[in-house]
Amino acid sequence: MALAAQQIPRWFNSIKSSSFINTTQLTKRFTRPGKTLLPGFSAQPQMSSDNYFLQWGFRSYQTSSLWNSSQQTNSNNQGNYPAQSTLLPSMSEQSQKAQKIPNFDSELSLEGLDDLPPLSPLQPVSEEEAIQIIADPPLPPGSFTLRDYVDHSETLQKLVLLGVDLSKIEKHPDAANLLLRLDFEKDVKQILFFLKDLGIEDNYLGTFLTKNYAIFSEDLEDLKTRVAYLRSKNFSKADVAQMVRNAPFLLNFSVERLDNRLGFFQKELELSVKKTRDLVVRLPRLLTGSLEPVKENMKVYRLELGFKHNEIQHMITRIPKILTANKRKLTEIFDYLHNVMNIPHHIIVKFPQVFNTRLFKVKERHLFLTYLGRAQYDPEKPNYISLDKLVSIPDEIFCEELANASVQDFEKFLKTL
């Protein structure tokens, strides 16, 4: 539209020029020296405005044609002025010249405007034409950050208000293309209402969408179907909300995948339906992550560490996270507990949280207790120290209750290691 707005005034100028030439030629031919074309109209009109000039030119010619025709008819009827007819053009000449005059209405048709040549970007533009140009703010031609598009996208603006961290999302190569194509009213709002109905709090929506922006590519009906499946397996609404918060990609997987995962853990671990349900509620990443670490760790517990099947069941139901722990970390901690600290399997089974502890922390405290002569981990003997307290309590309580020493003494001892 801006291009057409610039071309129309220039086209009008060409119409004015051609009209002026044709009108001048006509007035010279139809008038005699010293005479006026009609009373009140001069052969040299005053151009007070462009519109007046155009109107004057066409009306002058039409009026003169009608007046001359009437004069010729009267002269023929009266027979008094035979010579005057030679000064006037014949009707055929008038029709031919009329065809040469541009038709103002046809020249201004929209079809004609479509055929106008494109305006050159180097062609000068007047101030009046420049005022009529309306251009939208241009999008960045290329950018490595979504920040440059926020001012142009309602969707991005409202996602930022919800607390979505675009700096994390833009690290994914497909994120920008997805978000910039979303319509907030049609694509985003319905997903937000769905998440709120599911139990996701308003203050957590930004964090959730930062992790799982891909949920906007999912069909809403598919999301509802997956929630309905979990509810059919006796997961409560609170359970589903907790699972979605802890595993944001849970609802991106099909019902078939969710069903296969639940069946795998129930069969592989030989757990009851209730224990299987409790297991995935506490660690829903078991339904979304890879099964290879789980299978590998099951072999490690059974073949390398020597735990029995019922002992493995007890440990993973207490601490589900040890199913996905790093294999090297598991073997190093077990080796130190069993071969250095001389703790048997049945005691380790009672405190599986020790596998979630850093090895250096276990070493530092055990060596300090050994230095003080208080490293006693047998529950049948006095001054027993449980593995739970050994790895879970802070240094102040550890020194006061288990080591009977000050924190300063513990820090000085650590400097000797």
Long-range contacts, stretch 314-319, CB < 8 angstroms, 24+ apart = 314/349, 314/352, 315/349, 315/352, 315/355, 316/269, 316/279, 316/352, 317/271, 317/275, 317/278, 317/279, 318/352, 318/353, 319/352, 319/353, 319/355, 319/356
Can you tell me which residue has the tokens 């038709």? 103
Q: How many CB atoms lie within 10 A of CB 318?
A: 14
- Helix, strand, or coil (residue 95): helix
Would you state the structure tokens that stand for residue 94, as one six-digit string? Answer: 């008038």
- Helix, strand, or coil (residue 41): strand
pLDDT per residue of the chain (417 residues) written in tens, 0 to 9:
444 444 444 444 444 444 444 444 444 444 444 444 333 333 444 444 444 444 444 444 444 444 444 444 444 444 444 434 334 444 444 444 444 444 444 444 544 545 555 556 667 778 787 777 665 555 455 545 666 566 667 878 888 888 888 888 877 777 777 777 888 888 889 999 999 999 999 889 999 998 998 899 899 999 999 999 999 999 999 999 999 999 999 999 999 999 999 999 999 889 999 999 999 999 999 999 999 999 999 999 999 999 999 999 999 999 999 999 999 999 999 999 999 999 999 999 999 999 999 999 999 999 999 999 999 999 999 999 999 999 999 999 999 999 999 999 999 999 998
> How far, in Å, are 6, 24, 212, 344 from residue 173 at the CA level?
41, 69, 14, 50
Q: CA neighbours within 13 Å on the CB side: how many for 108? A: 8
pTM of the model: 0.60
> How far, in Å, are 147, 217, 274, 277, 323 from residue 297 at the CA level?
43, 34, 23, 20, 6
Q: Is the dihedral of CA 41, 43, 48, 51 positive or negative?
A: positive
Query: Which DSSP letter does residue 119 get?
Result: P
Q: State in Å, rounded, how far the first CA of the chain is from the last one.
A: 79
Residue 413: per-residue pLDDT: 95
Q: Is residue 351 a contact partner of residue 386, using CB atoms and an 8 Å limit? A: yes
Considering only CA atoms, which of 84, 86, 64 is closest in space to residue 74? Answer: 84
| Residue at 327: amino acid letter | K
Give the Cα separation of 159 and 173 in Å (integer). 18
- List phi, psi (to 5°) of 41: -125, 125
Residue 163: per-residue pLDDT: 87
- Which residues have a Cβ under 8 Å from the Cβ of 337 and sit 6 or more positions away? 343, 348, 354, 362, 387
- CA-only gyration radius of the chain, Å: 46
Give the Cα separation of 58 and 152 in Å (integer). 50
Would you state the structure tokens that stand for residue 148, as one six-digit string? Answer: 């440059």
- Residue 279's Cα: distance from chain center in Å? 35
